[in-house]
Amino acid sequence: MKIISVFIAIFYCSAVSAQPKTVYVKACSKGEDATLSVVEAIRECRATKATKLLLAKGTYEFRPDFAPDKYVFISNNDHGLKNTVFDLSGMENLEIDGQGSELLFHGYVCPFLLQNTKGIKISNLSIDYSRTFHSEGTIVGAYKDSLDLTFAAAFPFKVENYRLTFYDERKTLYPYGHLLEFDTSKKEIAYMALDYLDGVETMVAKEIRPGVVRIYLKDLKGTVGNTLIFNAKNRLVPAFTISTSQNTTIQNVTIFHAGGMGVVAQCSTDILLDGLKVLAAPGRMVSLSADATHFVNCRGKITIQNSTLESQMDDAGNIHGVYLKIEKVLSPNQLLLRLVHFQQLGLNILFPNTKVEFATPKDLATYAENSVSKVDRLNREYLRVTFNQPVSEKIQPGDIVGSLDDAPEILIKNNTIQRNRARGFLLGSRGKIVVENNYFHTWWGAIDLYANGVDWYEQGGVRDLTIRNNMFDNCNFGLNVGLGVIVVLAIIEENPANRSYYDRNILIENNTFRVYNPVILSMHSIDGLIFRNNKIVSNIDYKLSTWYENQKLEPFMMKNSVNIKIEP
C-alpha cells in the first residue's frame, strides 16, 4: 500500500508540474515605471516555460532606464542598440494577454521584440507614447515661402539660433526631416499637398511672438487651419519587431503610436494579424511615423484581417524580398554579395539550399537560377556565398540576386485602409495573394506592385494575385506619385530585347471604384491580367489640377504588357 501511495503521489506531482503555467503581472500605480515588473515576469516565463503571461487590466508605463538593450538589425527601419521591454527572444509557445491594458511608453524604448521565437501570441492591449516621435503644428498664417504655426502642449518646442527643435519631459530631442500638411477637418492629408524633404533640417525659424513660430522654406505652402506634420527623421522605435520567428499571432491590439513601423517582420514564417488597429489617438492627426505593417523575406502564410490601418505616415503594408548586389566573382561557383540599402543591413536572407535568381537591375529580368551551398557572413554588409552549381557566365558585377524560396501566401481581408500618407499595400510575393472585402481610401495608389534593383533593392513580382469585392474610394487623391488606383511603380527599364513581364496572372473582379479621375489601372510589364465585373462610379469629390486635365488620361493605361483582358 505504501508503494502504491508513493506511486500515486509521484504521478500526481508530475501531473501538476505538467500543467500549463500562467505568470501574472499586477497593475501599477499611476506614473510608476512598470518596466522591472514586466522584465521579471518574462524571466519567470523563461525559467518555468510558462504558456501565458497575464497582465491585470490597467495602465502600464515604461521608460528606457531599466529595459534590456540589444543591438538589432530591423529591415526598412534603423538598426541600432534598442531598449526593449517585452524582449521575447528565443521563447516558444507563450501567449501575452493584456486583458484590455494600456501600455504607455516614455522616450526611446521599444515595446516588443520577437527574435527566434515560435508560437507567440500577443492580444488585448494598446500601445501609445507620452511624447510622439513626430510633432503637429496648427497653421495660423500662410505667406510666400513661410508659415506661422502654434503647437499644443503635447509637442513641446524651442527656437534657438533660428532653429526649431522639439523635445520631451526629459529634454530629449525629437529630430524631424519631413513636413506634410493634413486637412484638419477631414483628418487626412490635404488635397494635392506636397512632401517637403529637402532643406527641412536646416530651415530658418523665428518665434515671432510667444507661442507662434514662423518657418521659412522655399515653395512652402499651407492653408490656415490645417495641420503641419513634422515627421520623425529616423525609424528607431517600431512597436513590434518579428525576426526569424515562426507562428506569430497579434490579435485585438491597438497601436496609437510608435517611432517607426507598427509591425515589421523579417525572415519569419506564418504571421497572423487579426483585429489590429493602427489609429491616431484623440487630438492627433497621425498614428505611426512609418508603415503600419511591413514583411521582408517571409515564408508560409501572412494574414491581415479584420483590421483598421489608418493615419500612418507611410504604407498600410509592404510585402517584399530583398535583392543583394553582386560585388565580385570570386570563383566559378562563389560570389561576393552585398546588402546595399542601409536599412537592410544585417539581414540573414540566404542559407544552404536556398534557391536564388540572378537578374539585371535595370529591367529586373531573371537570366539564371542556382542554389546556395554555403554562406560566410563577413559583416553586416558583405557575404561570401558558394553555390551548388557554377554561376552563369552572364553574371556581371552590379547584377542582383534574390531568394526564390521566400514567397509567402498572402490573405488581406475585411480591412479598412485610409487617411494615411503613401499607399495601401505594396505586394511583392510570388506566392498566392488574395485581397478581398477591404475598404481603401489612400493618398497614393491603393495597391502597388513594386520592385527596385537600383536603390531600395526590393524584390517583387507577383505570380497569382486576386483582387475582389473591395471598395476603392477616391484613391490616389494625392496625384504626386503615379496615377491609377491599382498601379505598378516598379523600376523596370523597358528593353525590347528582353522584356521581363515582371508581374503575372492578375485577376481583378467584383470591385467598386469610386473615382474623381478616370485612371483605374496604371501598369507596365504585365503578363496576364483579367479585369471583369467591376463597378466604376465617377464623382467630383476632388478636382483634378489643370496639369492633369490637360493630360490624356484613360481608365486603363497599360504599357509593355501582354495577355490583357478588360471585360464589362
pLDDT in tens, 83-107: 999 999 999 999 999 999 999 999 9
- 446 contacts 475 by C-beta, under 8 angstroms: yes
CA distances from 39 to 21, 25, 85, 373 (A): 17, 10, 7, 40
Domain end, chosen from 249, 281, 310, is at 310
pLDDT in tens, 447-504: 999 999 999 999 999 999 999 999 999 999 987 667 899 999 999 987 766 678 999 9
- 99 contacts 195 by C-beta, under 8 angstroms: no
Whether the pLDDT of residue 327 is over 70: the answer is: yes
Same domain, 140 and 126: no
- 201 contacts 175 by C-beta, under 8 angstroms: yes
Write the single-letter amino acid at 422: A
CATH number of the domain that residue 354 is part of: 2.40.30.10
CA distances from 204 to 150, 197, 258, 345, 417 (A): 16, 14, 28, 34, 36
Quick one: how far is CA 538 from the chain centroid? 31
Whether the pLDDT of residue 17 is over 70: the answer is: no
What integer is the mean pLDDT of 277-306?
Answer: 98
Whether the pLDDT of residue 11 is over 70: the answer is: no
Whether the pLDDT of residue 7 is over 60: the answer is: no
pLDDT in tens, 55-90: 999 999 999 999 999 999 999 999 999 999 999 999
Same domain, 46 and 12: yes
CA dihedral 362, 367, 373, 376 (to 10 degrees): -20
CB hemisphere CA count around 550 (13 angstroms):
3
Assigned domain for 568 exists = no
Q: What is the pLDDT of residue 4?
A: 43
Write the single-letter amino acid at 127: I
Same domain, 100 and 19: yes
Q: At which residue does the C-alpha cell 554588409 appear?
A: 381
How large a percentage of the chain has pLDDT more than 70?
Answer: 96
Whether the pLDDT of residue 309 is over 70: the answer is: yes
Q: At which residue does the C-alpha cell 499637398 appear?
A: 193
Same domain, 16 and 127: yes
Same domain, 24 and 82: yes
| DSSP conformational letter for 346 | T
Q: What is the pLDDT of residue 3?
A: 46
Whether the pLDDT of residue 9 is over 60: the answer is: no
* Region for 31 from its dihedrals, namely left if φ exceeds 0, alpha if ψ lies in -120 to 50, beta otherwise: left
d(CA 474, CA 61): 40
Same domain, 127 and 12: yes
Write the single-letter amino acid at 325: K
d(CA 300, CA 410): 9
Q: 485: Cβ–Cβ under 8 A, 6 or more apart, which residues?
A: 440, 445, 446, 447, 472, 475, 476, 513, 515, 519, 520, 521
- 506 contacts 529 by C-beta, under 8 angstroms: yes
Assigned domain for 114 exists = yes
Write the single-letter amino acid at 199: G
Same domain, 126 and 242: yes
pLDDT in tens, 362-408: 999 999 999 999 999 999 999 999 999 999 999 999 999 999 999 99
Grid coordinates representing 180 are 506634410
Res. 195 pLDDT band, cuts 50 70 90? very high
- 293 contacts 306 by C-beta, under 8 angstroms: no
Q: At which residue does the C-alpha cell 515562426 appear?
A: 246
**What is the reported pTM?**
0.95
Q: How many residues are recorded in the chain? A: 568
Assigned domain for 375 exists = yes
What integer is the mean pLDDT of 343-357?
Answer: 97
Same domain, 127 and 27: yes
Same domain, 110 and 141: no
Assigned domain for 558 exists = no
CB hemisphere CA count around 415 (13 angstroms):
30
Please, which residues bridge with residue 82 across strands? 70
Res. 554 pLDDT band, cuts 50 70 90? very high
- What's the burial of 440, exposed, middle or buried (CB within 10 Å: 0-12/13-18/19+)? buried
User: Whole domain around residue 339: which residue ranges?
Assistant: 322-403
Domain end, chosen from 265, 283, 310, is at 310
Same domain, 300 and 254: yes
- 474 contacts 542 by C-beta, under 8 angstroms: yes
Q: At which residue does the C-alpha cell 524631424 appear?
A: 176
Grid coordinates representing 544 are 483634378
Assigned domain for 264 exists = yes
Over the range 32-51, which residues count as b (16 or more CB within 10 Å of their CB) and which as e?
ebbbebbbebbeebeeeebb
Domain count, the chain: 3
Domain end, chosen from 386, 403, 420, is at 403
Same domain, 184 and 127: no
Assigned domain for 460 exists = no
Q: How many CB atoms lie within 10 A of CB 347?
A: 22
Same domain, 77 and 99: yes
pLDDT in tens, 513-549: 999 989 999 999 999 999 999 999 999 999 887 777 7
Res. 144 pLDDT band, cuts 50 70 90? very high
Assigned domain for 182 exists = yes
3-state helix/strand/coil string of 207-246: EEECCEEEEECCCCCCCCCCEEEEEECCCCECCEEEECCE
- 462 contacts 497 by C-beta, under 8 angstroms: no
Assigned domain for 560 exists = no
What integer is the mean pLDDT of 140-164?
Answer: 98
- 270 contacts 117 by C-beta, under 8 angstroms: no
Average pLDDT of the chain, as a whole number: 94
pLDDT in tens, 155-168: 999 999 999 999 99
> Beta strand 293-296 with 263-266: parallel, antiparallel or unpaired?
parallel
d(CA 339, CA 115): 20
Whether the pLDDT of residue 20 is over 90: the answer is: no
Q: What is the pLDDT of residue 215?
A: 98
